[in-house]
Amino acid sequence: MEIKLEKAETLKEKPDSSTLGFGKIFTDYMFMMDWNIDKGWYNQRIVPFANISLHPASTVLHYGSEIFEGLKAYRRKDGKVQLFRPIENIRRMNRSAERLCLPQIPEDMAMEILTTFVRLEQDWTPDAEGTSLYLRPFMFGNDETLGVHAVHNATYVIIASPVGSYYKEGINPVKIMIEDEDVRAVRGGTGYAKCGGNYAASNRAGERAEKKGYSQVLWLDGVERKYIEEVGAMNVMFMIGDEIVTPMLSGSILPGITRMSCLEVLRKEGYKVSERLLSIDELADAMKNGTLKEAWGCGTAAVVSPIGELCYKDVKYTVNNGEIGKVTQHLYDTLTGIQWGKIEDTFGWTQEI
Least separation in angstroms between CB 5 and ligand PLP: 29
CB of 122 to ligand PLP, least distance (A): 21
Asked whether the CA dihedral 150, 151, 156, 160 is positive or negative, the reply is: negative
CB of 314 to ligand COI, least distance (A): 27
In contact, 242 and 270? CB cutoff 8 Å:
no
173 binds, among ligand PLP, ligand COI, none (CB under 5 to 8 A by kind): none
Nearest approach in angstroms of CB 194 to ligand PLP is 6
- Phi first, then psi: give them for residue 200, nearest 5 degrees: -60, -40
Contacts with ligand COI, residue ranges (CB under 6 A)? 70, 233-234, 299-302
Which CB atom, from 88 or from 333, has the smaller least distance to ligand PLP? Answer: 88
Which partner from the list ligand PLP, ligand COI, none does 230 bind, CB cut-off 5 to 8 Å by kind?
Answer: ligand PLP
Q: Is the Cβ of residue 162 or residue 299 nearer to ligand PLP in the bound state?
A: 299
Rounded to a whole number of angstroms, the minimum distance from the CB of residue 262 to ligand PLP is: 9
* Closer residue to ligand COI in complex, CB, 69/121: 69
Nearer of residues 75 and 194 to ligand COI, judged by Cβ: 194
Residue nearest to ligand PLP (CB): 256
235 binds, among ligand COI, ligand PLP, none (CB under 5 to 8 A by kind): ligand PLP
How far apart are CB 265 and ligand COI at their closest, in Å?
Answer: 17
Helix axes 107-121, 86-100, angle to 10 degrees: 120
- Whole-number minimum distance, CB 61 to ligand COI, in Å? 20
Separation of alpha carbons 289 and 292, rounded Å: 8
Which of residues 68 and 323 has its CB atom nearest to ligand PLP in the complex?
A: 68
Q: Which is nearer to ligand PLP, 103 or 256 (CB)?
A: 256
Which candidate, 116, 153, 152, 123, places its Cα nearest to that of 137?
116
| Footprint on this chain of ligand PLP (rule: CB under 6 A) | 70, 230, 233-235, 254, 256-259, 299-300
CB of residue 153 to ligand COI, shortest distance in Å: 26
Nearer to ligand PLP, 126 or 137 (CB): 137
> Could you give the CA distance from residue 166 to residue 23 in angstroms, rounded to a whole number?
9
Nearest distance in Å: CB 55, ligand COI: 27
Residue 310 binding result from ligand COI, ligand PLP, none, given CB thresholds of 5 to 8 Å by partner type: none
Q: Which is nearer to ligand PLP, 71 or 120 (CB)?
A: 71
Q: Which does 196 bind (CB under 5 to 8 A by kind): ligand COI, ligand PLP, none?
A: none
**Residue 254 contact among ligand PLP, ligand COI, none, beta carbon within 5 to 8 Å by kind:** ligand PLP
Number of residue whose CB is nearest ligand COI: 299
Q: Mind spelling out the 3-state secondary structure of the chain?
A: CCCEECCCCCCCCCCCHHHCCCCCCCCCEEEEEEEECCCEEEEEEEEECCCCCCCCCEHHHHHCCEEECCEEEEECCCCCEEEECHHHHHHHHHHHHHHHCCCCCCHHHHHHHHHHHHHHHHHHCCCCCCCEEEEEEEEEECCECCCCCCCCEEEEEEEEEEECCCCCCCCCCEEEEECCCCCCCCCCCCCCCCEHHHHHHHHHHHHHHHHCCCCEEEEECCCCCCEEEEECCEEEEEEECCEEEEECCCCCCCCCHHHHHHHHHHHHCCCEEEEECCEHHHHHHHHHHCCEEEEEEEECCCEEEEEEEEEECCEEEECHHHCCCHHHHHHHHHHHHHHCCCCCCCCCCEEEC
Nearer CB in complex with ligand COI: 116/258: 258
